[in-house]
Amino acid sequence: MAVIKRTMKKILTLGLLVGGLSLPLTAQQRQSTAGSATSSQTQTTEKMQAIMNCEELYLQLTNKFGKNFSLSDKKVLAQLEANVHNREASRCIRKKSLYALYGEDFVNHLELINDGKTH
């Protein structure tokens, strides 16, 4: 009987130890997921702010897609892509469209809007 009690204590202790170790890992995973969601939301907010800072681009997108246009909408993304490649579009439209597509990484894609003009 004493052997069974000791074995049960060991099993219970081992179970508590494993459970105790898994709690911080679960909390860390939850925090990491929340952090990436917040980061994604911040990036989207920054991209929308860049669009609104170029009145010409903002008017173009709201006229085509309405005031509630979304950067996750494939049609909006296609329009931004078209703006980047449209050499007739203003520098503001092209640059802010590039930023809306790539975020902070837009600096690695400047060759898409560099057509020899200096502004």
* pLDDT tens for the 119 residues of the chain, in order: 667 777 767 776 666 555 555 555 555 555 555 555 677 788 899 999 999 999 999 999 999 999 999 999 999 999 999 999 999 999 999 999 999 999 999 999 999 998 765 54
**Cα–Cα–Cα angle for 95, 98, 102, rounded to 5 degrees:** 140
The DSSP line for the chain is -HHHHHHHHHHHHHHHHHHHHHHHHHHHHHHHHHHHHHHHHHHHHHHHHHHHHSHHHHHHHHHHH-TT--TT-HHHHHHHHHHHH-TTS-HHHHHHHHHHHHGGGGGGGGGGT-SS---
Residue 22 structure tokens? 């898994």
Report field, pTM of the whole predicted structure over 0.75 = no
Please give the distance of CA 73 from its chain centroid, rounded to a whole number.
14
Which pLDDT does position 53 carry in this prediction? 96
Condensed to tens digits (0 to 9), the pLDDT of residues 48-81 reads 999 999 999 999 999 999 999 999 999 999 999 9
